[in-house]
Amino acid sequence: MKGPSLRARLLTALSGDPDGTPRWVRELAEGDDDGYFPDGGAVWTVHAGTATFVAGIRALLIQALHPGAMAGVHDFSRYREDPLGRLTGTVRWIICVTYGSTTQAKQETARVGRLHERVAGTYTTDAGAHAYSASDARLVEWVHLAFADAFLGAHERWGGPIPGGADGYVREWATAGRLMHVENPPETEADLRERLRGFLDRGELRRDERVDEVVRFLRDVPFTGSMRLAYRVLFAAAVASLPRPYRQLLGVRRTVLPVVTATRIVLAVSQRALGAGPRAQDFARERHRRLAHEQAGAHPSE
């Protein structure tokens, strides 16, 4: 009996639905405005590319280095028992904020916020016990910075040109940061890099047994068959794309194999598979066309 297609397996991992059209994707066609980000803009361009597969792994690796973020993952995340559920939850927020109407983006952000309300506790370092909360301003900023850095860095290596360049992406994605209550998110690549270095320079990042546990898990996520092989390439790509200070902190090394080229092949195959059917941005464009038609009907030309 023939198994599910590559497209179905990819979409199940990303959206929890083999057709890639769960309810929240179909709702991208609804709403009364074009959303926060323009079609063809920097955010649409970066998030539509398959380099996001590498970016997601890279973001998780970097985020794990903050002990507050790591404590929240350790204490509250079900990534070990339900890794795909954890992945699809994150993908859902990204897709809805990127392509949805402002109402859908706000509703999805509020949903995530409700999940984060209970994420609080303490963690211990050599300096003693520290309280953490998912709503802590410094922690929220770190998560935003790590996300923007990962998606920008992966796209610059494996994607195409970005409208407005790197600054265009950082400036546009600052809107998502503000939705998540990041205070004064960076709007230039230089500011993004400077703030990331600040966390390193102040010694706010560290490696411990919890970080090692996450790295081991991310290195060997329980995929099977060709997905397993492809994922190993993507993990190696994420490690290779990390700036050296993060690799050193994480205790990971770049492979000697030609991972950049191998990743281009994996991403190209994935792109062809996903292109065989509708994608999230197609539903968003359906909304845009409807709104344009409604506006034209309300204001007929003379």
Question: Is the model's pTM score more than 0.85?
Answer: yes
Contact 69, 136 (CB under 8 A): no
CA nearest 283: which of 24, 110, 92, 75? Answer: 24
Question: How far are the Cα atoms of 37, 73, 75, 212, 259 from residue 78, in angstroms, in the given order?
Answer: 31, 8, 9, 17, 30
**Residue 172 banded pLDDT, cuts 50, 70, 90:** very high
Residue 40 has, within 13 A of its CA and on its CB side, a CA count of 1
CA nearest 226: which of 253, 187, 195, 266? Answer: 266
132 DSSP β-pair partners: 121
pLDDT 10s digits, 230-250: 999 999 999 999 999 999 999
**Residue 300 banded pLDDT, cuts 50, 70, 90:** low
pLDDT 10s digits, 137-166: 999 999 999 999 999 999 999 999 999 999
pLDDT 10s digits, 26-39: 999 999 999 999 99
| Secondary structure of the chain as H, E, C letters | CCCCCHHHHHHHHHHCCCCCCCHHHHHHHCCCCCCCCCCCCHHHHHHHCCCHHHHHHHHHHHHCCCHHHHHHHHHHCCCCCCHHHHHHHHHHHHHHHHHCCHHHHHHHHHHHHHHHCCCEEEEEECCEEEEEECCCHHHHHHHHHHHHHHHHHHHHHHCCCCCCHHHHHHHHHHHHHHHCCCCCCCCCHHHHHHHHHHHHHCCCCCCCHHHHHHHHHHHCCCCCHHHHHHHHHHHHHHHHHCCHHHHHHHCCCCCCCCHHHHHHHHHHHHHHHHCCCCCHHHHHHHHHHHHHHHHHHHCCCC
For residue 157, give every residue at least 6 positions away whose Cβ sits within 8 Å of its Cβ, in sequence order, or none: 51, 54, 241, 260
Looking at the predicted structure, is the pLDDT value of residue 1 above 60? no
pLDDT 10s digits, 67-101: 998 888 878 776 666 666 667 888 999 999 999 99
- Distance separating alpha carbons of residues 59 and 176, to the nearest angstrom: 16
Looking at the predicted structure, is the pLDDT value of residue 222 above 50? yes
